[in-house]
Structure 1
């Protein structure tokens, strides 16, 4: 049965409000949760970026949900420190934590003062980082000299079972490329056809474990309100790849997307006041091959979304899953 989870966006809410939201999401019937891991938001209107790892410990301690994070070790986070963080959460909350590793974005990584590598180098750095982390989580002493450097490192507090390390990918090519090392995949789930291609590429390359998706959506009691929420909070996220990976500041994202159209916004965010339409979109994405789908309401007020989806959408999805 497909897991329907809640996405906690650190870029949009203070960590205290996000903690309240994930607790409410559990009460409303969401199966699991995940969060982002940013140093900077996508726009000044979003205006937040709490430290994901402190928040994850609090969320795991105050809910019974399984939680995950999409993170980018290799520059801002040294892979040894990343492995230590993963191990600590895995030891404290057995079987309830996973981390998805991506190649990163300049907006979060430029602060180190190191140069921002080209995409092929970032992809290779990710492969090296994943290997280092996996070996450390297996209890090895690791020395590595490559795009990342490690000298006789060891993680001492280890979980009985290492948390899964998933690959974060937004294209079919990237999904296939990282299938060799990943324990699963997470991707942006917007259109069923594109999602099917990504799922197929990962599976055809031997990818194992769950395939997870994240759906950006905007809901409000009226269409005008839903559109206004999406425009205010998510327009700055419309910069396409590969440009999105190289922009550094929230102001630059704002300038780059100031002329975006409603159609462009609607391609990135599922916007509707109709809860039935949201349920249908979720169902079509699940049918495209997802094992887990995390819902991200792009507004800063999470309670109305959580309550409405908990009362109307999740029961409908549960009934449909039970009937198949």
Structure 2
């Protein structure tokens, strides 16, 4: 069975507004949420970027949702601090917080002045960080010297069960690698359903019992034109093809590079429609991948309309 979750986009909404949307998501029937962890927005048009770690405690207290966030430890965040933060949230709200980790993007991690490594090196650093966090959650005193340094760190406040550590993947190669050490995988729904299925299969071949989560970009509005317009205005910077976006440092650079992206390209990457039947069909297609959760990101800013409509018609249709 595939559960549906709500994606909270901190790049698009002030933290106070994001909390109101999370509360509404809870009210209309969502059970899970995914919150982004950014220092910068993707575009100057979005114009927000609250600290998710300050926000998560309020969100967990105000709702009954489970929450996860995708983090890139080892750059602007030391893995021991992330392990401590995740342990604290899960101790306060048992079984409701999980952590996803990825190799990161310069847009967020570059603020520390780091020399941005190639993907292979970022993956190696990520695996080191994951190992350190797991050992801390197990109660070990950890000393580690490598790509990251830890000296006699030990967590004294720990939950009964460690936060599941979910790895983020955008390729089959990364998916297969994550299966070796992560507790699950989160990936992105793309226009290429066969590629999505291949990514899931690459993970499941080596970890058949571990969960897979999917994040899907949707655009719902009262007309198809409004849905596409809202998607273009908020998300065309994320429709630049290829891995180049991992190397951009500022929202201005994303805006400049995306000047050549047109509405047709956005429509290929974001599921734009005013018809709830279309959104149901897309989500049923996602469920056919045998994933445990799909987190829906309504890309336009009309979150209230989206949440009320999906709560009334889409969630019941997919139960």
TM-score by structure 2 length?
Answer: 0.98
1:254 deviates by: 0.7
Greater mean alpha carbon deviation, residues 198-207 or residues 164-173: 198-207
Query: 8 Å contact 2:28–2:312 — kept in the other structure?
Result: yes
Residue aligned with 2:108, SS: helix
CA distance in 2, matches of 1:314, 1:205: 31
Aligned mates of 1:259, 1:136 — CA distance in 2 = 46
Trace 1:45-124 onto structure 2 (pairs within 5 A): 45-124=45-124
After TM superposition, give the deviation of residue 171 of structure 1 in Å.
1.0
Contact preservation (8 Å) 1:195, 1:285: no
- In the alignment, the residues of structure 2 paired with residue 180 and residue 239 of structure 1 have an alpha-carbon distance, to the nearest angstrom, of 30
Deviations 1:171-195 (A, max 9, x none): 1111111111111110001343221
Mapping of 1:263-278 within 5 angstroms?
263-278=264-279
Q: Given that residues 172 and 199 in structure 2 are in contact (C-alpha distance below 8 angstroms), is that contact kept between their aligned partners in structure 1?
A: yes
- What's the counterpart of residue 308 of structure 1? 309
Aligned to 2:245: 244
Q: Partner of 2:229 in structure 1?
A: 228
What is the match of residue 283 of structure 1?
Answer: 284
Q: Distance in 2 between matches of 1:208 and 1:233?
A: 36
Q: CA deviation at 1:49?
A: 0.5
Q: Quote the residue 2:163 is aligned against.
A: 163
Match of 1:260 in 2: 261
Q: CA deviation at 1:261?
A: 2.4
Give the Cα–Cα distance (whole angstroms) in 2 for the partners of residues 169 and 303 of structure 1.
30
1:68-112 CA-partner distances (Å, limit 9, x unpaired): 111111101001101001110011011001010000000000111
CA distance in 2, matches of 1:309, 1:79: 37
User: How big is the shift at 1:2?
Assistant: 1.3
- Mapped to 2, the partners of 1:301 and 1:71 lie a distance apart of 26
Is the 1:125–1:147 contact (alpha carbons within 8 Å) kept by the matching residues of 2?
yes
CA distance in 1, matches of 2:76, 2:45: 24
Residue 20 of structure 2 is aligned to residue 9 of structure 1: no
Runs of 4+ in 1 over 4 A off after TM superposition: none
| CA RMSD between the two structures | 1.0
Structure 1: unaligned runs, 5 residues or longer: 319-324
Does the aligned pair in 2 maintain the 1:32–1:66 contact within 8 Å? yes
**1:200 partnered with 2:201:** yes
Distance in 2 separating the partners of 1:253 and 1:208? 38
| In 1: Cα distance, 2:89 partner to 2:207 partner | 28
d(CA) in 1 for partners of 2:112 and 2:165?
24
User: What is the CA distance between 1:40 and its match in structure 2?
Assistant: 0.3
What CA distance in whole angstroms lies between the structure 2 residues aligned with 1:140 and 1:224? 55
Aligned 8 A contact 1:141 1:154 in 2: yes
SS at match of 1:258: helix
Q: Specify the alignment match of 2:186 in structure 1.
A: 186
State the alpha-carbon separation in 2 of the partners of residues 169 and 305 from structure 1. 27
Instruction: Count how many residue pairs are aligned between Structure 1 and Structure 2.
Output: 318
What is the alpha-carbon distance in structure 2 between the residues aligned to residue 86 and residue 135 of structure 1? Answer: 13
CA distance in 2, matches of 1:80, 1:52: 17
Shift in Å at residue 240 of structure 1? Answer: 2.9
After superposition, what is the alpha-carbon deviation per residue over 1:32-53, rounded to whole angstroms, capped at 9, x for unaligned? 1111100000001100010001
TM-score, length basis structure 1: 0.96
Q: Partner of 1:128 in structure 2?
A: 128
Query: What is the distance in 2 between the residues matched to 1:144 and 1:278?
Result: 47
